[in-house]
């Protein structure tokens, strides 16, 4: 995955979460007037006008209650966004859901990425306060890099113009990444090079031909993942992480395992390879697999906040198991 933190808008600037929140609330209103929408939610005043004007915002609970009131299946949206954390939502509400999404990421890191204070994050995670919608969106993106996916699951991202273009760009790059696995590395490498001849610099870094790199860059420019500017090539902030079809993921996994195998034969300084063959209980193997999932989530979080982009890294993880067939019951 490669990412400059924060969904970018079309100019490449970090996302204005106030604007996104206003558009989400406008989408929830649908064809109703602001007054009718406010009345439907049980308010005597025209709160919809204030929300959409950005003068004030509902907190997370009121936003989701409004969504449910106009027919959104909030539980289904949570399941679609992140099934594992959705279970925490069902049992413990918003605070438990946020804690599940946070994983092992330190609150200090979450606060820095979300543009808030550590005490604020603590109050939200403990359920002592409820974040306003813009802060909730920033918090989700700080924890997962997927605020756009949450909006998409809730109301459909195409109804939120400031996010829709970013999500479309990410989807276009995803298709390319599964067709041409080296595209992900080229995209990441472009974030690290400066000056003239980015094609040549990336090709030399990754050991690819200049022609191949130039072709991949051109496809990414057409897809919106890379933009040409007076300073050369600019990578649009993206997280490439959308579930592919089975054949795609097998192809990409085989590719990167092959790259790792080649590097194992001729390691570079700083490369790390490790393995552990062991016998454990089924319960402990399940714990190991869960630990791998937690590690990957923390890895995503570190990548999301990392700046400046200086090096390209490949991290592969494998957990394999062998077990004897159980004896038939007597």
In a domain, 24, yes or no: yes
- Last residue in a domain, options 184, 215, 235: 235
Tell whether 63 and 172 lie within a shared domain.
Answer: no
Tell whether 149 and 38 lie within a shared domain.
Answer: yes
Tell whether 81 and 126 lie within a shared domain.
Answer: yes
Contact present, 115 and 305 (Cβ < 8 Å): no
Q: What's the confidence (pLDDT) of residue 146?
A: 82
In a domain, 67, yes or no: yes
277: left (phi over 0), alpha (psi -120 to 50) or beta: beta
Of 209, 175, 203, the closest CA to residue 189 belongs to 203
Tell whether 42 and 92 lie within a shared domain.
Answer: yes
Tell whether 129 and 40 lie within a shared domain.
Answer: yes
Q: Which helix (H) or strand (E) holds 227?
A: strand 226-229
Could you count the other beta carbons within 10 Å of the beta carbon of residue 265?
Answer: 6
- Last residue in a domain, options 184, 213, 235: 235
Q: What's the confidence (pLDDT) of residue 223?
A: 65
Tell whether 22 and 62 lie within a shared domain.
Answer: yes
Tell whether 24 and 60 lie within a shared domain.
Answer: yes
In a domain, 174, yes or no: yes
pLDDT, one tens digit per residue, over 180-231 is 899 989 989 998 988 788 999 999 999 999 999 999 998 888 766 787 777 7
Tell whether 124 and 215 lie within a shared domain.
Answer: no
pLDDT, one tens digit per residue, over 99-134 is 999 987 889 888 988 889 999 999 999 999 999 999
Longest dimension (CA), the chain: 77
DSSP 61-74: HHHHHHHHHTT--H
Q: How far is CA 146 from CA 14, 77, 156, 197, 246, in A?
A: 14, 14, 14, 33, 22
Q: What's the confidence (pLDDT) of residue 124?
A: 97
Model pTM score: 0.64
Tell whether 72 and 129 lie within a shared domain.
Answer: yes
Structural domain including 33 reads 17-161
In a domain, 267, yes or no: no
Q: How far is the C-alpha of 122 from the C-alpha of 116, rounded, in Å?
A: 11
Q: What's the confidence (pLDDT) of residue 56?
A: 95
In a domain, 292, yes or no: no
* Number of domains into which the chain is organized: 2
Q: What's the confidence (pLDDT) of residue 204?
A: 95
Tell whether 29 and 154 lie within a shared domain.
Answer: yes
In a domain, 30, yes or no: yes
Q: How far is the C-alpha of 85 from the C-alpha of 100, rounded, in Å?
A: 5
In a domain, 42, yes or no: yes
Q: How far is CA 251 from CA 190, 218, 310, in A?
A: 23, 23, 28
Q: What's the confidence (pLDDT) of residue 1?
A: 30
Q: What is the mean pLDDT of each run of 10 residues along the chain (330 residues)?
A: 37 73 97 96 96 96 96 95 90 94 86 91 96 95 86 94 79 79 91 87 95 90 74 65 66 93 92 94 94 87 82 93 76
DSSP 3-state of 122: helix
Looking at residue 188, which CATH number applies to its domain?
A: 1.10.10
Tell whether 195 and 213 lie within a shared domain.
Answer: yes
- Last residue in a domain, options 115, 146, 161: 161
Could you count the other beta carbons within 10 Å of the beta carbon of residue 274?
Answer: 4
Q: How far is the C-alpha of 210 from the C-alpha of 166, rounded, in Å?
A: 28
Of 60, 59, 69, the closest CA to residue 38 belongs to 69
In a domain, 200, yes or no: yes
DSSP 3-state of 229: strand
């Amino acid at each position: 995955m490669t990412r400059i933190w924060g969904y970018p808008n079309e100019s490449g600037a970090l996302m204005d979460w106030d604007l996104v929140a206003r558009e989400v609330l406008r989408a929830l209103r649908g064809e109703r007037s602001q007054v009718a929408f406010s009345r439907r939610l049980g308010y005597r005043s025209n709160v919809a006008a204030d929300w959409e004007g950005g003068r004030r915002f509902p907190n997370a609970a009121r936003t989701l209650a409004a969504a449910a009131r106009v027919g959104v299946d909030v539980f289904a949206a949570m399941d679609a966004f992140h099934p594992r954390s959705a279970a925490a939502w069902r049992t413990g509400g918003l605070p438990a859901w946020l804690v599940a999404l946070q994983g092992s990421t330190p609150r200090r890191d979450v606060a820095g990425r979300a543009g808030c204070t550590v005490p604020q994050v603590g109050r939200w995670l403990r359920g002592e306060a409820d974040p306003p919608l813009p802060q909730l969106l920033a918090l989700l993106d700080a924890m997962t890099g997927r605020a756009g996916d949450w909006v998409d699951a809730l109301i459909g991202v195409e109804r939120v113009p400031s996010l829709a273009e970013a999500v479309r760009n990410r989807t276009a790059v995803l298709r390319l990444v599964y067709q041409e696995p080296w595209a992900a590395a080229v995209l990441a490498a472009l974030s690290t090079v400066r000056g003239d001849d980015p094609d040549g610099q990336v090709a030399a870094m990754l050991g690819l031909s200049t022609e191949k790199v130039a072709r991949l860059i051109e496809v990414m420019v057409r897809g919106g993942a890379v933009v040409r500017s007076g300073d050369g090539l600019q990578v649009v902030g993206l997280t490439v992480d959308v579930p592919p079809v089975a054949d795609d993921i097998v192809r990409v996994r085989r590719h990167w395992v092959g790259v790792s195998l080649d590097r194992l034969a001729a390691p570079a300084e700083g490369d790390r390879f490790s393995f552990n063959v062991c016998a454990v209980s089924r319960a402990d193997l399940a714990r190991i697999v869960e630990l791998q999932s937690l590690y990957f989530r923390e890895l995503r979080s570190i990548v999301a906040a990392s700046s400046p982009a200086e090096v390209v890294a490949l991290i592969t993880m494998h957990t394999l198991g062998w077990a004897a067939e159980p004896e038939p019951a007597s």
